[in-house]
Amino acid sequence: MLKLIVIIVAAASGFLGQVSWAADNPIDKILDECIAKKPTLPGIANCTLQSEKLWDVELMSKYNTLMKLLSEDEQTALRKSQKQWAHQRDAEIRLMQTIFSKVQAGISNPIQGIRKIGSITKDRVILLSNYIQMVESSKSASIE
């Protein structure tokens, strides 16, 4: 399992970009604190898995919040988008596994890669958060 995580993480570190998110994000702080306590490769992998679970919880929270703000047609569009995103995420992870299983010996900084493993889900959380802000802003603007 650890080997799989390292492969996925190495891939993520290579081609997933940085996203803008508050520097004091609680999930990132939890990850940093966990890694500081367990700075070994297995420890970092475990911390990253815990962080990914937290991002999944945050993702569902944002998804549910956004669903409550949308009309029925918009909810249908969001459901479809979320389902397609999940398929794309899974395909990306499979691609990472395929490619980086061949080059894992050349990974120069697996720890940096492991720290970025949550970026796929984190990116989606940020996107849904932006949608929530847009919808809430447009609703408050139409009230005024």
Pick from 10, 2, 7, 54: which is nearest to 28 by CA? 54
Report the C-alpha gap between 48 and 60 in whole angstroms.
18
pLDDT at 4: 46
pLDDT at 138: 87
Question: Cβ(122)–Cβ(52) under 8 Å?
Answer: no
Q: What is the pLDDT along the chain (144 residues), one digit of tens a residue?
A: 444 444 444 434 433 333 344 456 899 899 889 989 988 878 887 888 888 899 999 999 999 999 999 999 999 999 999 999 999 988 887 776 676 666 655 555 555 555 555 688 899 999 999 999 999 998 877 766
pTM higher than the cut 0.85: no
Write the single-letter amino acid at 73: D
pLDDT at 80: 98
pLDDT at 8: 44
